[in-house]
Structure 1
């Protein structure tokens, strides 16, 4: 029997919320969708498992799974309210429908449930504190440029495309310029003893970026302590021992089947006090050189096409080329 307040769709026999026992079930749906929606990368099982460890995510209320009459999972959707309450309330909608079950109304039913649950989360957060009640709020969903169905569904609920993010590739067999750091700056690999300093630098560097909120210690520890971060491919720029710029990269061998051996650049940033000093290209070039030295053939990253720091042009100048795009659909409150 489906959960109370579950979506309704003739193509779904049962709806229920998630438990930790559903990690593989959720991952199977996402992996099937990945192969169609963005075949150059896959969602690691570890990423799904990590969400069950986060204190601000309650999958028993915030993740819905759809099953067919044979008990096979055909869709999953999650609603996550970011833990930051400083400047605004920010909710992310994520999920997928298996490609072989699309066009049956499952995605529409699931997205409407996600939207309603997101609005409930906003009401609950605002009811908890008068200061929080006064904050602006938004719900976001990322959609591949190819996923016109999700675009239509979201727009029917007054979501609008506000931003585009571009995936860019860099062939590491092509020449890489020599690394040159400004005077007084030292370039070093990442080490775990610098984890908290790196988190603070990340939050400062991204404070003025569209849609970015501070990364809390819990989520940061998952990232830097997880199985994919490669400290030897990461670069920190130090000024008097302080981190003033960074390029953090990871390797997921699950993506090698399509792109070959590659690294993903998760984060590039420069603290606001040290911008326009050539630090971003310095940390990126050092990391690219390290990737090539590790036998990897390609570097991949995602960039806001309207970044206030000019990142899109920076990456193009370093040999990255655009490959595919995602839109960000937003509803504001």
Structure 2
């Protein structure tokens, strides 16, 4: 084996990153496929400091492993940074993953010191439970499981909307985009690990090339925005599987308006709309200990569990 070359990631690595992630998908089967545009969006994330907080391993021109760390714009008491990475299946069990995780933790300390030095630092890793070798690797580097998330899916063969008296459902418009973000931030204030999403992060993570405005809605009670649902869909997934999936990336109800049917109304409306637009399936991810009790709402709406993710954490 040739000696690997190690350096930070740069936006020009988008094509190589997509190639690596698609090779990983052929083995890990988590349902994530990528285009170059998708990976570029991640590489230009304003909260991913590639120069200080990323490392990539290359075999010649081929990217065979990487790690990058994303810090929080805002944090209280605890600054939870997110460590993401992967190794090409043909290069696993050679120590590359261990080196990358160690580099990621060190990088987390660097960006933490720059942005939230007075707070406690916790490094999070989020991976599907079934991926071989991940538990052994992260446990060996001091991580422990702290939370579980469930991917749930809904076939869109037969769906009907849900009407709630007094509630009006509006579609996304550019003029209302800031209101969508504000409701999301209010709804997620007490969600574990969540933080307010600044406008630049919203543009990068939500209103990008995967955003589906025709299946994204705001719920109003009178003139007050009380709930939000944002849908995304990945062209690479559709091309790879033949299944057009409407992924409900953001679902939230303002805290003062919970348990009044807002989320159920948004779900019903979004499911019916997606079905009418020719989507084959809807999907979402739910925290196992969601304070809003969302897992029960989703099951009632017809979503069924697909696979589970583990959130691993290490306090540094």
Q: TM-score, normalised by structure 2?
A: 0.93
Which of residues 151, 169, 172 is equivalent to 2:135? 151
- Residue 302 of structure 1 aligns to a residue in which SS? strand
Matches within 5 A, 1:130-141: 132-133=117-118, 135-141=119-125
Shift of the 163–12 alpha-carbon distance from structure 1 to 2, 3 Å rule, reads farther
* Aligned position for 1:22: 13
Shift of the 260–208 alpha-carbon distance from structure 1 to 2, 3 Å rule, reads same
1:305 to partner: Cα distance: 1.5
1:201 to partner: Cα distance: 0.6
* Aligned position for 1:92: 82
Which of residues 206, 212, 219 is equivalent to 2:201? 219
* Aligned position for 1:13: 4
CA distance in 1, matches of 2:185, 2:54: 28
CA distance in 1, matches of 2:263, 2:98: 42
- Residue 133 of structure 2 aligns to a residue in which SS? helix
* Aligned position for 2:171: 189
- Contact 2:45–2:204 (Cα < 8 Å) also in 1: no
- Residue 103 of structure 1 aligns to a residue in which SS? coil
Decide which moves more: 29-38 or 260-269. Answer: 29-38
CA distance in 1, matches of 2:284, 2:161: 21
CA distance in 2, matches of 1:13, 1:125: 32
What residue ranges of structure 1 are gaps of 5+ in the alignment? 1-9, 127-131
The answer to whether the aligner puts 1:280 opposite 2:271 as a matched pair is no
The answer to whether the aligner puts 1:60 opposite 2:51 as a matched pair is yes
RMSD of aligned Cα (Å) = 1.9
* Aligned position for 2:231: 249
- Contact 1:76–1:97 (Cα < 8 Å) also in 2: yes
Decide which moves more: 239-248 or 201-210. Answer: 239-248
* Aligned position for 2:148: 164
User: Which of structures 1 and 2 has the bigger CA Rg?
Assistant: 1
* Aligned position for 1:4: none
Shift of the 71–190 alpha-carbon distance from structure 1 to 2, 3 Å rule, reads closer
- Residue 161 of structure 1 aligns to a residue in which SS? strand
Q: Deviations over 1:193-235 (max 9, x none)?
A: 1111111110110111111111111011234431221111112
CA distance in 2, matches of 1:11, 1:81: 33
1:121 to partner: Cα distance: 2.5
CA distance in 2, matches of 1:47, 1:56: 16
CA distance in 2, matches of 1:118, 1:161: 19
What residue ranges of structure 2 are gaps of 5+ in the alignment? none
* Aligned position for 1:48: 39
- Residue 213 of structure 1 aligns to a residue in which SS? coil
Shift of the 30–15 alpha-carbon distance from structure 1 to 2, 3 Å rule, reads same
The answer to whether the aligner puts 1:317 opposite 2:300 as a matched pair is yes
